[in-house]
């Protein structure tokens, strides 16, 4: 059995802590034979435990404490601490591992409630579960989610070589916004989501780049952001935004311009990697 979970790109500008899209990088958990103790084989990072201390197993045992240990093989091309939902993918995989091995028969909504309680907000875990574009909220333990297709665009991700942990990225955010500022920020977010659902990428792009919740505070933490945004806009991209808490920079491009923008970003010689990604429409899935 293999559990597959997509990477996610959250916020998408003004959709702070509530909007995300599943994209084509993946965490895979191969469930092998039963064993005396949990064993996880991986070469992702030496800091990641290979036994029951691994977050994957911790999550699974929260749901089903009596799970029979197995040998597992973990592979991932989702980079750690880069704003592409690496920790959320493990949380969702852990829930699915318990779901499968303990025959919990969880619905997607039940998985979302559990994952949101663990993660604190649904923007990454929701698209990892459902796939596609997901607009979600969590308030007073009530979790809601709306799933929709993403408009026909290409995603071009610049992933820097350096990490930016969420706790560091949140540290630069203000403790509060004035009522007037909050209303303005909310109205921009409303337009962004409405335009995405309608497929109006020109309007969506302007709103995405007008975020007032987090991007203006975080952009100075990502030294390549301004150059990529300028380059992409000059070549006709719809929008450039910080993926999640960063430092990945995501460009939304018309499909006929994506290859050109991708090559131009690569030619800049930034310290990092550039990828063309697609929307994952399936979310977490299990292959026998």
Model confidence pLDDT, tens digit, residues 77-128 = 999 989 999 999 999 999 999 999 999 999 999 999 999 999 999 999 999 9
Using the predicted structure, report yes or no on whether residue 43 has a pLDDT greater than 90.
Answer: no
Buried b (16+ CB within 10 A) or exposed e, 22-59: bbbbbbbbbbeeeeeebbbebebeeebeeeeebebbeb
Q: Is 79 annotated as a binding residue?
A: yes
Counting every residue written for the chain, the total comes to: 288
At 62, the pLDDT band (50, 70, 90 cuts) reads very high
Q: For 165-185, what is each residue's pLDDT tens digit? A: 888 888 999 999 999 999 999
Give mean pLDDT, residues 269-274.
96
Whether residue 45 has pLDDT greater than 90: no
On the question of pLDDT at 137 being above 90, the answer is yes
Q: Where in the chain is CATH 3.30.230.10?
A: 2-149+281-287
Contact 122, 112 (CB under 8 A): yes
Tell me whether residue 81 is annotated as binding. yes
Res. 215 pLDDT band, cuts 50 70 90: very high
Annotated binding-site residue? 84: yes
pLDDT computed for residue 156 by the predictor = 98
Closest CA to 83 of 208, 186, 231, 225: 225
3 band by pLDDT with thresholds 50, 70 and 90: very high
For the structural domain made of 154-277, what CATH number should be given? Answer: 3.30.70.890
According to CATH, where is 3.30.70.890 located in the chain?
A: 154-277
Task: Report whether CATH 1.10.3660.10 matches the domain 2-149+281-287.
Answer: no
Q: Given a cut of 90, is residue 236 above it in pLDDT?
A: yes
122 annotated among ligand-binding-site residues: no
> Any binding-site annotation on 85?
yes
Mean pLDDT (the chain, rounded): 96
């Amino acid at each position: 059995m293999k559990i597959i979970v997509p990477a996610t790109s959250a916020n998408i500008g003004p959709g702070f802590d509530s909007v995300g899209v599943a994209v084509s990088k993946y965490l895979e958990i191969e469930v092998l034979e039963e064993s005396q103790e949990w064993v996880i084989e991986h070469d992702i990072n030496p800091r990641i435990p290979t036994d029951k201390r691994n977050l994957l197993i911790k999550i699974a045992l929260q749901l089903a404490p009596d799970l029979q240990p197995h040998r597992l093989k973990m592979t991932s091309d989702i980079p750690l601490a880069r704003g592409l939902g690496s920790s959320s993918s493990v949380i969702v995989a852990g829930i699915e591992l318990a779901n499968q091995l303990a025959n919990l028969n969880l619905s997607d909504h039940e998985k979302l409630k559990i994952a949101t309680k663990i993660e604190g907000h649904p923007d990454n875990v929701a698209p990892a579960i459902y796939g596609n574009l997901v607009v979600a909220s969590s308030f007073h333990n009530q979790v809601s989610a709306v799933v929709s297709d993403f408009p026909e665009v290409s995603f071009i991700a610049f992933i820097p070589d350096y990490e930016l942990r969420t706790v560091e990225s949140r540290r630069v955010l203000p403790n509060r916004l004035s009522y007037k500022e909050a209303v303005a920020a909310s109205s921009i977010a409303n337009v962004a989501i409405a335009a995405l659902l309608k497929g109006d990428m020109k309007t969506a792009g302007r709103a995405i780049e007008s975020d007032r919740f987090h991007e203006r505070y975080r952009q100075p933490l990502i030294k390549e952001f301004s150059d990529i945004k300028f380059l992409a806009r000059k070549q006709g991209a719809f929008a450039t935004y910080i993926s999640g808490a960063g430092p990945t920079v995501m460009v939304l491009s018309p499909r006929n311009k994506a290859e050109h923008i991708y090559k131009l970003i690569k030619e800049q010689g930034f310290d990092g990697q550039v990828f063309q990604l697609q929307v994952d429409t399936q979310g977490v899935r299990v292959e026998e």
